[in-house]
Amino acid sequence: MKKHFKCKDFSLTVFCEDTDFQGIVYHANYLKYFERARTQFLIDQDISQILLEASKLAFVVRDINLRFISPAKLEDKLIVRSSVQFISKARLLFSQQIIQLNNDTIICRGGVEVCFVDLIKNKPRSFPERLLKIF
């Protein structure tokens, strides 16, 4: 695997539903933004979670670490930057950060460990060969 594998940036706009009464993004929504970016990464690699689930396979989050740095606000334009820091046959460790587009302020940083599992056996399973080839 390459030392770091950078994923394509994921852009989003903060909407009313993402915020509290003062227009500040709820902390839980940063997890959603990270998830959307990782899902888009799979889509970009032509890996369908729907087809995986039909085969009783899935990506599951094993561990998350977050650091909140600066609040995002209503109508902010954000970028989620993601890279894969580590890969094994059944595990990926993503390093992700949310950045405010207009001034490059870091909003939130996180590390997310994702495992590939057999849903019937409820045990780790090797990634599809096409995903391993990407790295």
**Cβ neighbours for 82, distance < 8 A, ≥ 6 positions apart:** 6, 7, 9, 10, 34, 37, 38, 41, 94, 95, 96
**CA atoms of 116 and 111, how far apart (whole Å):** 17
Q: Where does the chain have alpha helices with state H? A: 27-44, 49-54, 129-134
> 9, 20, 44, 63: which is the annotated catalytic residue?
20
Residue 75 φ/ψ region, left for φ over 0, alpha for ψ in the -120 to 50 degree band, beta for the rest: left
Contact 84, 135 (CB under 8 A): yes
Cα 126 → chain centroid: 20
**CA atoms of 110 and 63, how far apart (whole Å):** 10
Is 20 labeled as catalytic in the residue annotation?
yes
Positions annotated as catalytic residues are 20
